[in-house]
Structure 1
Amino acid sequence: MRVIYNEQMADLANLLGEMAGLAGQAMERATQSLLQADLALAEQVIGEQDRISVMIAEAEERAFALLALQAPVAGDLRQVVSAIQIVGDVNRMGALALHVAKVTRRRHPAHALPESVNGYFAEMGRIAVSMGAAAKEVLETRDPERAAQLNQDDEAMDDLHRHLFTLLMDRDWQYGVAPAVDVTLLGRYYERFADHAVEIGRRVIFLVTGVLPTDEDLETS
């Protein structure tokens, strides 16, 4: 029974890692579609969301089956509960990439972004994609030190988001209300994508050590 349980947990961890990788890839394509006003890329992201949704449902089913059939306790229970919570984070990451693609589609053939903020979103997209790949790595390796490093990338994302907000509040903003709304929403999508990647890192640390780190713990690690 123990061997079977370990194999099932390993399979679930691999599935979660694959899903995180797909979320990162979706955000990469969504960012390209946003910067280039590429409708085909946006439609690709939107169309592939069904694949992620199927995997989400499969991961949830496997996790709940482990709870029901294996009746885990102590550290084993911690692993299963963490996995269920990670499913939710990965699901949100995929949904946020989908939101970015939908903004591109809604504004097409126009660009959703004023040219002056393209550089901000190119960098936010780069960080988000990197964090998606790191989340995948962390889920597969269960390396708590690498998991803690996700918080550093999130700080860079937060800095960009704050700076972007100052541009919107500047009296010299000349692009009108609709672009301001799009930039505000899009900035939030990238920020939240990074937040969920950090949360995955926290869950992995908890899974390995039994201690859920606070924000202060991650900042000093």
Structure 2
Amino acid sequence: MRIKFHEQLDDLTNQLALMCHLAGEAIETATDALVQADLPLAERVFDLTEQIEQLHGPCEEQAMALLALQAPVARDLRQVVTGVHLVTDLSRMGGLAQHVAESVRRRHPNHVTSGETEEILNRMGRAATALAGLAEQVLRTHDPELATELGRRDDELDDLHRRLLTLIEDPTWPGSIPAAVDATLLGRFYERFGDHTVVVGRRVIFLVTGEPLSP
């Protein structure tokens, strides 16, 4: 029974890592769509987020079944509980990538942003993609050092977000009010995506060490 239980735990871990992989692919594709004003790429994001949601329910059900039927304790219990929470975090990451794609679809055939604003958002998208890749490694390895690295890497994304807001708030910025709204929302989507990868890392640290999540 315990061998079967751990096989099921491993399967849950693999499914969560796949959700993270798909979220990373979605945010990368959404960023490509943003900088290229490419509608087919934006539509591809919706396909990816649908795949994430198709995994959401089964993962959640599997974790709850393990709790109810196996009565895990200690680290096994933490792993199952962590899995329940991670499903929601990873689903939200996919949702944020979808919001970027929705902006592209709404403004097509025009670019949502341009110039330095688009350049900063492009860099934010690449940083978010890298964070998702690192989060996937963390989920697969349960390495607390890699998990800690997520927080440090997210600082780069936060710096870019602050730079974007400073740019938009500058009186000499040439963009319109709708463009400012679009850029502000996009920056927030990327910033929140990065925050969720950091939460993934914190949850894995809790899994491994039992230390409660820091605020």
Q: Deviations over 1:154-199 (max 9, x none)?
A: 1110011011111111111221110000000000000000000000
* Residue number in structure 2 paired with 1:140: 140
* CA distance in 2 between partners of 1:9 and 1:193 (Å): 26
* CA distance in 1 between partners of 2:3 and 2:109 (Å): 55
| 2:54 is equivalent to residue 50 of structure 1 | no
Q: Deviations over 1:74-95 (max 9, x none)?
A: 3222111111111111001000
Matched length: 215
Between 1:146-155 and 1:65-74, the stretch displaced more is 65-74
* CA distance in 2 between partners of 1:82 and 1:181 (Å): 36
* CA distance in 2 between partners of 1:48 and 1:25 (Å): 8
Specify every segment of 5 or more residues in structure 2 that has no aligned partner in the other structure, as ranges. none
* CA distance in 1 between partners of 2:54 and 2:120 (Å): 33
| 2:166 is equivalent to residue 166 of structure 1 | yes
Query: AA paired with 2:101?
Result: A
Using the TM superposition, give the Cα deviation of residue 111 of structure 1 relative to its aligned residue in structure 2, in angstroms: 0.3
* CA distance in 1 between partners of 2:210 and 2:59 (Å): 22
Query: AA paired with 1:61?
Result: E
* CA distance in 2 between partners of 1:47 and 1:78 (Å): 32
Q: Deviations over 1:105-147 (max 9, x none)?
A: 0000010012221221121111111111111110000000001
| 2:202 is equivalent to residue 202 of structure 1 | yes
* CA distance in 1 between partners of 2:50 and 2:122 (Å): 26
Contact 1:26/1:97 (<8 A) preserved: yes
Q: Which runs of 4+ in 1 moved over 3 A?
A: none
* Residue number in structure 1 paired with 2:81: 81
Contact 1:34/1:112 (<8 A) preserved: yes
| 2:9 is equivalent to residue 27 of structure 1 | no
Matches within 5 A, 1:112-127: 112-127=112-127
* CA distance in 2 between partners of 1:127 and 1:175 (Å): 24
* CA distance in 1 between partners of 2:79 and 2:88 (Å): 15
The percent identity for this pair of structures is 51
Contact 2:34/2:104 (<8 A) preserved: yes
Aligned-partner SS, 2:175: coil
* Residue number in structure 2 paired with 1:185: 185
Provide TM-score, normalisation by structure 2. 0.97
Aligned-partner SS, 1:208: helix
Specify every segment of 5 or more residues in structure 1 that has no aligned partner in the other structure, as ranges. 216-221
Using the TM superposition, give the Cα deviation of residue 5 of structure 1 relative to its aligned residue in structure 2, in angstroms: 1.1
Provide TM-score, normalisation by structure 1. 0.94
